[in-house]
Chain A
Amino acid sequence: MAKKILIIEDEKHVAEYLEDIFQDQGYETLVATGSEQGLAMAASQKPDLITLDLQMPEEHGTRFYQRFRKDEALRGIPIVVISGQHSPHRAINPDKVAAIVAKPFEPAELADIVQKALGEA
């Protein structure tokens, strides 16, 4: 069965872009445009991987990330942070996430990173 990727991203063009990339790699995709929706979908859909935009309006991505990490059930899911910030490393401990990808990114590179994080490489 295809692995499921949850895309948490408020900008619809970017979310669509990520869907394109992942679908072309044969993954199933889900999109959440806000952090609350993201948490809910992560809990209900049990994705195999989550991509997270760090600068979302309703709740800052960093805080969302902390909340997400506290949730026992979701703790095991690898997270790929995709950020337009200059140095997301300051907000996120790089050891705790699968990867940090800066916008704009190379689609092939991102596909590669996701593949590795899913343990498929």
Chain B
Amino acid sequence: MGDKILLIAPGELGRELAAQLSGWGHTSLFAADSEEALDLAFRHKPAISILDDGSDPAEALELVRRFKAQHPWTETIFLAELADIERGARALEFGASDYLIKPVSPHRLGVALRRAQDRLVVRKKLAYLSGHTPNGGLPAALPPLGEESARAARFYDTLQQYQQLFDEVPCYISVLDHNFTITATNRRFKEEFGELVGKTCHDVYQGRCEGCPDCPVADTFVDGQSHQYEQVLRTPDGRRFNVLTWTAPLRDAQGEINQVMEMSTDITQIRKLQDHLSSLGMVISSISHGVKGLLTALDGGMYKVRAGLERGDMDRVSKGWELVERMTERIRRTVLDILYYAKERELDTEQVEVADFAKGVAVAGEYAAKKHGLDFKLVLAPDLGRFEVDPNALNPAMINILENAVDACLDDDEDKPRRRILFQVSREDDVLVFDIVDNGKGMDHETLENMFTLFFTSKGSAGTGLGLFIANDTVQQHGGSITVDSEPGEGSHFHVRIPEHPMAMPWERAPGPLTSKNLPF
């Protein structure tokens, strides 16, 4: 495709050049003097201008200067006499991109034009990349590629490829200068943390106004080595990421480290898993003593049964069997607690009839109570309605509290005519209230304080400290609360409040007037 070429060359020379250019498919524009040249250039935006030094070489040089000032995008080729070759060099100083010695052979003209076209391609591409185009818009269609323009295109492609790599690497990348100011970030980084270029890293990630101690970026500036560390990053909306960060030095052309790159990989999931595993390990080792106690007590029961059978002592057999049953039950519960604890769960709520739910819990509680000769009573208020809970989580939690009441009665050494458990369910506006009252051994102050603490148990080696912890955790997950009123030797009153809908709970109300001292039966 031809270019528009402005000729500022008088007479014969101009006509010869025009003929030559039109033979190559270019369009020529003629200007007789400086003013016309500037005017034509303004109106037609020629790609190239060819300027003869003509009759007034000084004026010609001045035109080069003015022309380039007004039309920097036009490649300018200066034509000079051999004797005035010095002037050709001056023309380059004034902004011409090339000069030719007259007379101009078609071959040399062709070479000069090709070079001018190459330069145009490179300049347009660079302008495109840097966002500056001659007319403020996209560059015009690009001419066929010469060697230099092919190189420019390769440069452009490479640049684009690296930008893409930078953006798409599954890491958060930021580049920091000597002042720990962020100078560049990749797309992933921007997505999570926003546009932070210009801010300091310690301010952004750590909320610190000064640099952090043992800063690996500072180390990299000093020793030029890559450093690795783990940190927690905060996003502007308050989420936290555990990341593993590597630093790498970036050097300038002289080989000096002028920036450091931080590449952070999200390891939040791994850390969560690790935390979970280690807390599970902690659970197992903390309850191992309790489990061993349970097994030893179970052995004690079996020993009684065996010894009783050997000696024909049925009283001993039945005492032993009762112990075996109780210990087996506790071991079963402990194992279920561990299995429950081992699984991180979210509530899977559904609408449940409160009365049905309470009856389901009561069946299990009554079974445990009656087995050991305890009285059990269920009292349901009318019109309990429905509530939104995860029955698979809440049901075992409530049963756990009931079984705890059973244990409290069985572990009570005092002589009481009747050991009894009351399970009462009522509604206060949009809150369901479950009262579990026993007249068992009750709790001292320390037990009351710590009863919901993980691994706290008052059952000696027969408890693991998991059951009530999980029950409390589950009730709280439902937006509810458990409060307890208890007297040693008198019994305990568990007051469980669960909102009709999760998370709509007025917290921590004192237990109601119902206590073990005024059991209604």
Q: B-contacting residues of A (Cβ < 8 Å)?
A: 10-14, 16-18, 20-21, 24, 53, 55, 57, 84-86, 102-105, 107
Cross-interface CB contact of B462 among A11, A85, A86, cutoff 8 Å: A11
Q: A10 contacts which chain B residues (CB < 8 A)?
A: 460-461
- Bound-state Cα–Cα, A39 to B162, Å: 78
**Is B462 a contact of A13 with CB atoms below 8 Å?**
yes
Q: A12 contacts which chain B residues (CB < 8 A)?
A: 460
**Is A85 a contact of B297 with CB atoms below 8 Å?**
no
**Is B307 a contact of A20 with CB atoms below 8 Å?**
yes
**Is B292 a contact of A11 with CB atoms below 8 Å?**
no
Interface of B is mostly: helix
Interface centre among A13, A16, A55, A103 (most CB of B within 10 A): A13
**Is A14 a contact of B303 with CB atoms below 8 Å?**
no
**Is A17 a contact of B299 with CB atoms below 8 Å?**
yes
Q: How far is the CB of A17 from chain B (nearest CB, A)?
A: 3
**Is A55 a contact of B303 with CB atoms below 8 Å?**
no
Interface residue? B41 (CB, 8 A): no
Q: How far is the CB of A60 from chain B (nearest CB, A)?
A: 12
A82 (CB) vs chain B CBs: closest residue: B296
Q: A-contacting residues of B (Cβ < 8 Å)?
A: 285, 288-289, 292-293, 295-301, 303-304, 307, 323, 327, 460-462
Can you list 16 residue pairs at the A/B interface with Cβ under 8 Å? A10-B460, A11-B296, A13-B297, A16-B300, A17-B299, A18-B300, A20-B303, A21-B303, A53-B461, A55-B289, A84-B289, A84-B292, A86-B285, A103-B292, A104-B292, A104-B298
**Is B288 a contact of A84 with CB atoms below 8 Å?**
yes
- Bound-state Cα–Cα, A105 to B297, Å: 11
A102 (CB) vs chain B CBs: closest residue: B292
**Is B289 a contact of A17 with CB atoms below 8 Å?**
no
Closest 7 CB pairs of A and B: A17-B300, A13-B297, A84-B292, A11-B460, A103-B292, A84-B289, A104-B295
B298 (CB) vs chain A CBs: closest residue: A104
**Is A104 a contact of B296 with CB atoms below 8 Å?**
yes
Interface centre among B285, B292, B296 (most CB of A within 10 A): B296
**Is A17 a contact of B292 with CB atoms below 8 Å?**
no
Q: How far is the CB of A72 from chain B (nearest CB, A)?
A: 31
Q: B285 contacts which chain A residues (CB < 8 A)?
A: 86
Q: How far is the CB of B232 from chain A (nearest CB, A)?
A: 33
Q: B303 contacts which chain A residues (CB < 8 A)?
A: 17, 20-21, 107
**Is B461 a contact of A107 with CB atoms below 8 Å?**
no
Cross-interface CB contact of A55 among B299, B300, B323, B461, cutoff 8 Å: B461
